[in-house]
């Protein structure tokens, strides 16, 4: 019988793959590997116990696994990037983006709750910058949360003065732009409740 590789060796290799292939920091890679390992163990044991469905398509199986990985990362962790999803599931980055969008559509309530909490935290810490007109600068920790906030603001009419610096992860909006009596900061704080 062939001896299986040690789990600690596989975890190290998986973390290295996330750093190399997805651009994750070593700390982030370790957190994602822990979440993947926990989710995979749950999936295997739940299937064996008969307490979880066996999915008929690879997309449904990946979505269920992705949901568990995201749950294991916890509410305070950044969402997986398309590159991280691609590395975890050994698919292309475009397929990773599609998988994440499908997750967002199928588990919309969970996704919105997680993202709204992260956006609210950023909105509460927004800084006013400049002379009249004053702008709010929203500094994000990750691109996924930034994109969620930008889409929310665009959908609700803040696009007139919205500027996005994706490299610095900063969104700026004129304080004078109001929608339904709220500026962008108040909207993001209230919208996140």
Strand order of the β-sheet with 170-174 is 127-129, 135-139, 170-174, 163-165
In angstroms, rounded to a whole number, what is the distance separating the alpha carbons of residues 35 and 166?
27
pLDDT tens per residue, range 67-118:
999 999 987 678 899 999 999 999 999 999 999 999 999 999 989 988 998 8
Percentage of residues of the chain with pLDDT beyond 90: 68
* Residue 135, pLDDT above cutoff 80: yes
Alpha-carbon separation of residue 148 from 22, 44, 181 (angstroms)? 20, 32, 22
pLDDT computed for residue 72 by the predictor: 93
pLDDT tens per residue, range 117-130:
889 999 999 888 87
pLDDT computed for residue 191 by the predictor: 65
Mean confidence (pLDDT) of the chain: 90
pLDDT computed for residue 6 by the predictor: 82
* Residue 193, pLDDT above cutoff 60: no
Q: In whole angstroms, what separates CA 99 from the centre of its chain?
A: 12
């Amino acid at each position: 019988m062939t001896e299986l590789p040690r789990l600690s060796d596989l975890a190290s290799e998986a973390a290295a793959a996330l750093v190399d292939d997805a651009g994750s920091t070593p700390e982030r890679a370790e957190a994602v590997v822990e979440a993947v390992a926990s989710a995979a163990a749950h999936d295997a044991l739940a299937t064996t116990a008969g307490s979880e469905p066996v999915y008929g398509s690879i997309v449904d199986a990946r979505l269920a696994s992705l949901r568990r990985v995201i749950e294991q990362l916890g509410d305070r962790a950044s969402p997986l990037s398309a590159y991280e999803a691609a590395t975890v599931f050994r698919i292309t980055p475009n397929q990773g983006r599609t998988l994440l969008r499908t997750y967002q559509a199928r588990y919309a309530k969970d996704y919105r709750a997680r993202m709204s909490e992260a956006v609210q935290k950023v909105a509460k810490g927004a800084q006013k910058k400049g002379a009249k007109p004053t702008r709010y600068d929203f500094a994000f920790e990750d691109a996924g949360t930034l994109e969620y906030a930008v889409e929310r603001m665009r959908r609700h009419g803040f696009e007139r003065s919205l500027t996005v610096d994706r490299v610095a992860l900063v969104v700026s909006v004129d304080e004078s732009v109001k929608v339904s009596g709220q500026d962008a900061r108040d909207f993001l704080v209230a919208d996140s409740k």
